[in-house]
Structure 1
């Protein structure tokens, strides 16, 4: 059975994107991380937020722009949105309901992970009780402002159980299971 995994690169002060969703901060930190190829091989589908799908790209201006994991991964992508585009996008399915998006992504993942990309979709999955794991690649920089890894003012505490810790370059990888 496919599991739901939220993975993100994050600054030491807890941001996954700068102000306005700016991802240019990450460009200088896209060095080799031994965990990333393993992660990519374990992903069967992506569940992506609309703002993330239409947002900034740390690979802007390179041949990897617009490609998942900089072109390291390809496969079915499901974008959760209230406003699907009128024109289809190749290899992307737009879904308006979270439950439907999760079901379709899990079916497409074929027993591999459904990787969630986007803080708001991850928060929604957590609230719905369908988020299984969180992988954070902590990058040695402080952004000071932007999009937080998890932001839910007034929300409840969420317990996590450590699955693993590993060193990348330059990130430190922290992998957790969402505690029941």
Structure 2
């Protein structure tokens, strides 16, 4: 089975979304990123938090609105929630983390299950299910918003660097969770 990967674009001060979940800040940093382009081909399914699924879309107002990775990826999505939304093609709503991970891994096969959403990523990390983290660090300080990981009182988690690459508008840091 594939691995669980949390990928996110992040401001230098640690935020993946601005205040109120605003994702429009990231649009000025869209551009070539070979690391992310290669990753998209290796994703077999998405494990998404409900707020991320129904939240602000950085592609709002474009033809890519509502499409994962701006339309570069299509496939099965598993949304963790106790509040299912309207049915959508390739979207399964599930209310149990471990069951959602099992479904997403089965759908992904040998490819990655890409985790989207800080709360789901933290839950996967706390449950010992998260394998890797890929962060595209963008040259901006947001000052407030949704943090990459918010774990007050949490134990330290050791990470091992797999790679570090540069793109024109980002520094990509790929890490493995050490167990």
TM-score (norm 1): 0.98
Deviations 1:60-90 (A, max 9, x none): 10000110000000000000001113x3111
**Matches of 2:115 and 2:26 in 1, distance apart?**
18
Structure 2 residue 39 is the aligned partner of structure 1 residue 39:
yes
- Match for residue 11 of structure 2? 11
**Matches of 1:77 and 1:64 in 2, distance apart?**
17
- Match for residue 138 of structure 1? 137
Unaligned runs of at least 5 residues, structure 1: none
Structure 2 residue 155 is the aligned partner of structure 1 residue 156:
yes
- Match for residue 48 of structure 1? 48
Residue-pair matches, total:
179
Aligned CA-pair RMSD: 0.6
Residue 153 of structure 1 deviates from its aligned partner by: 1.0
- Match for residue 26 of structure 2? 26
Residue 169 of structure 1 deviates from its aligned partner by: 2.0
- Match for residue 73 of structure 1? 73
TM-score (norm 2): 0.99
- Match for residue 63 of structure 1? 63
**Matches of 1:164 and 1:120 in 2, distance apart?**
25
Runs ≥4 residues deviating over 2 A: none
- Match for residue 96 of structure 2? 97
**Matches of 1:78 and 1:168 in 2, distance apart?**
30
**Matches of 1:99 and 1:8 in 2, distance apart?**
21
Deviations 1:111-152 (A, max 9, x none): 100000000000000011000000000000000000000001
